[in-house]
Amino acid sequence: MKYRIKRQVLEMIMESSKDTMPNEFAAFLRARAGIIYEIVMIPTISGRRSATYMLHMKPIDFSIVGTVHSHPSGVLIPSDEDLHLFSQTGNVHIIVGYPFRIDSFRAFDRYGKPIEVDVI
């Protein structure tokens, strides 16, 4: 499935990532008909080099399609830990990075392969 993300959701992610610096920001993505329209926050342990989701607190919600998290370093390449998370938590994963502009993101599928996510 090809995903798109609402501009205001991506802007909120970028602002939240700026506010969380120097730590990472993390959330889940909610979509309907391939359009990411909302983020879902659960308790997360956030540090300078990682954000750990409390996956046991993730709601059973089939509209959650993946994750989003920030890399304050600006490096938009998934780590080994990211790839492990991707394989367990949905089909679309977004990494945003410094300087947290609307174009400062990359998206990946559950295998870590880059995918295109259009901003609408």
Active-site hit among 15, 24, 81, 116: 24
CA–CA dist 69, 49 (Å, integer): 11
Whether residue 24 lies in the annotated active site: yes
Q: Phi, psi at residue 8, to the nearest 5°? A: -65, -30
Q: Is the CB of residue 96 less than 8 Å from the CB of residue 119? A: no
> Which residues are known to be catalytic?
24
